[in-house]
Amino acid sequence: MPLKTQRRPPLLHQKLQMRKLLVMSGAGVLVLLMLGVSGAAEKIGDKVVFYVRVMRLYSEAPDTKIAMPLQAVAKKQTNNAWICGYNG
């Protein structure tokens, strides 16, 4: 007489996995919906985009040539330009 094990049928195991997946995805959708309604998602997204852009700028090499050359201004004069007063 063969011994019977106490294993669950494979179909029941798949149903439990599917139920867990549905509960987790439902909770995720609910969280995203609440963030979208409250406007927090836009603020979080803006901060993430800002930090990504800053990291990209830090990783790039600095420009070796000024993009818009100025007439009658030497390169040495541009180093401490922030000290000069602003008339405007």
Q: Reduced to 3 states, what is the DSSP secondary structure of residue 17?
A: helix
Mean pLDDT, residues 2-12 taken together: 66
Q: Give the C-alpha separation, 49 to 51, whole Å.
A: 6
Q: Which two tokens stand for residue 31?
A: 């969280």
Please check the confidence at residue 81 and state whether its pLDDT lies above 60.
Answer: no
What pLDDT, on the 0 to 100 scale, is given for residue 56? Answer: 93
For 11-60, how does the pLDDT look when each residue is reduced to its tens digit (9 = 90+)? 667 778 888 999 999 999 998 888 778 888 788 888 999 999 999 999 99
What pLDDT, on the 0 to 100 scale, is given for residue 42? Answer: 81
Q: Which two tokens stand for residue 26?
A: 């439902």
* Global confidence as pTM: 0.38
